[in-house]
Chain A
Amino acid sequence: MEITDEILIDLYKRMVRVRLFEEEAGRLAESARLPGFLHLYVGEEAVAAGVCGALESQDQITSTHRGHGHLLAKGGDFNRMMAELMGKATGYCNGKGGSMHICDLDLAMLGANGIVGAGVPISVGAAYANKLTGNGLISVSFFGDGATNIGAFHEAANMAAALSLPMLFVCENNEYAEYSPRHKTMAITDVIERAAAYGFPGAIVDGMDCVAVFEAASLAIEKIRGGEGPMMLECKTYRFYDHVGVKGTASDYRTDEEVEEMRKRDPLVVHETRLIESGIMDADSIQAIKDDIQKEVDISVEFADQSPFPELEDMLVDVYTNGESS
């Protein structure tokens, strides 16, 4: 398939949106201005950008505890996200859900999740609804390598295959689950083998390259939309920061050298180099994109700062249909 300049620039913008927002969130967390856990997506932007860039706007996604990237790459609102991270009433969950519970139903983002693997079966249901109604949409579930060790993943994979559903499984294999390296918690090298086990195809993708992800996702999505049943992409990627926060207190579960080595493959730099070398953009136009998006990030911080915290009354609503708790 042909990848136009427009697409290449679009993919870049999606990655920058995630990166700059996340770096800002990291700084705020370091200065204790964000309550709760912050799982940063920095390093893995190519996956969310490549997949979301290949989706129709109403294709559904489910996301993870490391979910800011998925929503932002799908067009999520900086202001409402930043406000949610700060626990403010103007946030995506009115400041009641936090980083791991953000949903945006307008964008068909069915939810980030504090429970590992919990989103995968939800995507199965969305895919089934798509099939039933014949709306032509597909559903996508993002999940980590570690999530494929949990029962819910396996039930979902089998069911999606058995019912031949229009669903794309996107594994973000960053080689670690918290502080456990992948090889200690599974006896296979490639997570993709798990798709084969349930009888659907998949591909291993360079998850540090948004174009590779976009191409693989586009190919898969075309087949899935065409009624060929589920597929899986295993995106080999890496998180640059710690499991939680920026620099955590965990023991040395990975070496600084390893992180440095992977940082050389920074998905933003990889793509910037491509854009410049192919003459699509120059350093100035790249900087201009970053400046524009940074401005949006700054505005979101201001917006969140100035927003009020939710009050007791806010806490008590939206538990039942009548809006109230018992």
Chain B
Amino acid sequence: MSEKVSELSMLEAINETLHSEMARDERIVVLGEDVGRNGGVFRATEGLIEKFGENRVVDTPISEAAIAGSAVGLAMAGLVPVAEIQFLGFSYQAMHQIAGQIARLRYRTQSRFEPQITIRAPFGGGVRTPELHSDSLEAQFANIPGLKIVLPATASDAKGLLTSAIRDPDPVLFLEPLRGYRGIRDLVPDEEHAIPLGEANLVKKGDDIVIISWSYQVELSKRVAESLEEDGVSVAVLDLRSIVPLDVEALTQIVAHCGRAVVVQEAPETGGFASEIIATINDECFWSLEAPVARVSGFDVPYPVGMLENLYVPDEARIRAAVLKTMEEE
């Protein structure tokens, strides 16, 4: 049976998913700054207010703490909030509610409260947004037990993962790469499409080395892997899809198979999630390694704007160099 698919941008896939999930579950409430009448500054929520009305699509004041905090109250009252933080950097304003409340309520209520809360936020560089609009903060959230952190790399995954995120009984931070909104297009199933959270995707098989990545960096990693194929290096690419939960099994399997690995992230290197991946590799399959695992990261500086972001954000050349260097290690 062949599934029907349409070619969509990641942004269109997200918008379509919000439409179909809101139609399916009338408990869903979308809230955020300019998500209603305006349709979202990136147009992710376009058309929702027309279809589902002002009660279910709420234009909030500039009040991130109240957006995140009210999501808790909504969820406790039996609704399903899907909140938008306009840029992930603005989540600092909401940090207490996310880290101190949302993430802990299940624990405090012995699971009597099921925090079915989704927070969507665009992030990442490459589109010349300023400081705090481009920062990759995923590792900071990964250090908060109780939160799930999902980062799609394709339009199809954006649909499949957002569907699961909204339905998930745990709070999910759903991070959307700004560069992928219009820059990533692929075939998306027309019908309901739910990808279980915590299943990594081996987007390319390979035997010599694996590039492990998430979000937009997967796109770059794929290109590097394909180009290296021409040079006779067999490069696998693993898209983690979510960093919490982390698919330790898929990670271990491919690293053990290849014996060499490079982790690519856009965040600053120190304390980035790549470090956690490497620690996991050490725990699970250290003795299969033929070389130290390398990292390609942003730099340990505030996200620089303007032309400097070309240097800051990992690009194909830096990923390629890291792969080749790791291949040379004995």
Question: In whole angstroms, how far apart are the Cα atoms of A253 and B131 in the complex?
Answer: 27
Which residues B263-314 have CB closer than 8 A to chain A? 270, 299-302, 304-308, 311-312
Contact, CB under 8 Å: A146 / B62: yes
- Is B34 touching A315 in the complex (CB atoms < 8 A)? no
Interface: B90 (CB within 8 A): yes
A310 CB within 8 Å of chain B: yes
Is A128 close to B, CB under 8 A?
A: no
User: Are the C-beta atoms of B306 and A315 separated by less than 8 Å?
Assistant: no
Contacts of A319 in B (CB 8 A): 300-302
Interface size band for B? 35 or more
Contact A178/B133 with A185-B62, A315-B308, A319-B300 known, Cβ cut-off 8 Å = no
Q: Is B175 an interface residue (CB 8 A)?
A: no
The answer to whether the Cβ of B130 comes within 8 Å of any Cβ in the partner chain is: yes
Closest residue on chain B to residue A96 by CB atoms: B304
Q: Which of chain A's residues has its CB closest to B132's CB?
A: A114
**B305 engages A96 (CB within 8 Å):** yes
B307 to chain A: which residues have CB within 8 Å?
35, 87, 95, 309-310
The listed residue (B37, B130, B301, B305) touching A253 by CB distance below 8 A is B37
B130-A98 in contact (CB<8A): yes
- Chain B residue with minimal CB distance to A312? B311
Most buried by A among B59, B90, B132, B307: B307
Stretch at the interface among A147-155, A160-168, A193-201, A230-238: A147-155
Decide: A114 and B308 in contact? CB cutoff 8 A: no
A181 and B308 CA atoms in complex are apart in Å by 35
CB-CB under 8 A for A315 and B305, given A99-B130, A180-B34: no
Chain B residues with Cβ below 8 Å from A253 are: 37-38
- Tally of contact residues, A, Cβ under 8 A: 43
CB distance from A74 to the nearest CB of B (A): 22
Chain A contacts for B64, CB-based, 8 A:
150
CA A37 – CA B300 in complex, angstroms? 23
- Determine if B59 and A114 form an interchain contact, defined as CB atoms under 8 angstroms apart: no
Q: How far is the CA of A96 from the CA of B92 in the complex (A)?
A: 21
A18 nearest CB across to chain B (Å)? 21
Kindly identify, within residues 122 to 146 of chain A, every residue whose CB is under 8 Å from any CB belonging to chain B. Answer: 146
Q: Is the CB of A178 within 8 A of B93?
A: no
Residue contact A178 to B130, C-beta cutoff 8 Å: no
Determine the residue in chain A with the shortest Cβ distance to B46. Answer: A251
Distance of B146 from chain A, by nearest CB (Å): 23
- Write the nearest CB–CB distance from A95 to chain B, whole angstroms: 5
Total A-B pairs in contact (CB under 8 Å)?
124
Query: Is the beta-carbon distance between A95 and B308 smaller than 8 angstroms?
Result: yes
Task: Tell me how far the C-beta of B46 lies from the nearest C-beta in chain A, rounded to whole angstroms.
Answer: 9
| Bound CA–CA A88/B90 (angstroms) | 26
Given the complex of chains A and B, what is the CA–CA distance between A95 and B131 in angstroms? 12
A184–B58 Cα gap in the complex (Å)? 10
Query: Within the complex, which residue of A97, A177, A325 is in contact with B131, where a contact is CB–CB below 8 Å?
Result: A97
B232 at the interface (CB under 8 A from A): no
User: Does A189 count as interface, using CB distance less than 8 angstroms?
Assistant: no
**In the assembled complex, which residues on chain A have CB atoms less than 8 Å from the CB atom of B59?**
180, 184-185
Q: How far is the CA of A117 from the CA of B41 in the complex (A)?
A: 19
Residue on B nearest A317 in the bound complex, by CB: B301
CB distance from B270 to the nearest CB of A (A): 6
Q: What residue in chain B is nearest A149 (Cβ atoms)?
A: B61
Q: Mark B55-93, 1 if CB is under 8 A from A, else 0.
A: 000011111111000000000000000000000011011
Q: Does any Cβ of A come within 8 Å of B160's Cβ?
A: no
The reply to whether the CB of A288 lies closer than 8 angstroms to some CB of chain B is no
Q: Does B33 sit within 8 A of A, measured CB to CB?
A: yes
B129 is an interface residue with CB less than 8 A from chain A: yes
The smallest beta-carbon distance between B91 and chain A, in angstroms, is 11
CA distance A152 to B128 in the complex (A): 27
A269 at the interface (CB under 8 A from B): no
A159 to chain B, nearest CB (A): 17
Q: How far is A314 from B301 in the complex, measured between Cα atoms in Å?
A: 11
In the bound complex, how far is the Cα of B128 from the Cα of A153, in angstroms? 28
User: Are A37 and B130 within 8 A (Cβ)?
Assistant: yes
Q: Which of A41-92 contact B (CB under 8 A)?
A: 86-88
What are the 4 tightest A-B residue pairs by CB atom distance, in nearest-first order? A87-B306, A149-B61, A98-B305, A185-B61
What is A's interface to B at a CB cutoff of 8 Å? 35-37, 86-88, 95-101, 114-117, 146-147, 149-152, 177-180, 184-186, 250-251, 253, 309-312, 314-316, 319, 325-326
28 contacts across the A-B interface (CB closer than 8 A): A37-B129, A87-B307, A87-B308, A88-B306, A95-B305, A95-B306, A96-B302, A98-B306, A99-B130, A114-B89, A114-B130, A114-B131, A117-B62, A150-B93, A177-B33, A177-B62, A178-B33, A180-B34, A180-B38, A185-B61, A251-B37, A253-B38, A309-B307, A310-B304, A310-B307, A316-B301, A325-B299, A325-B301
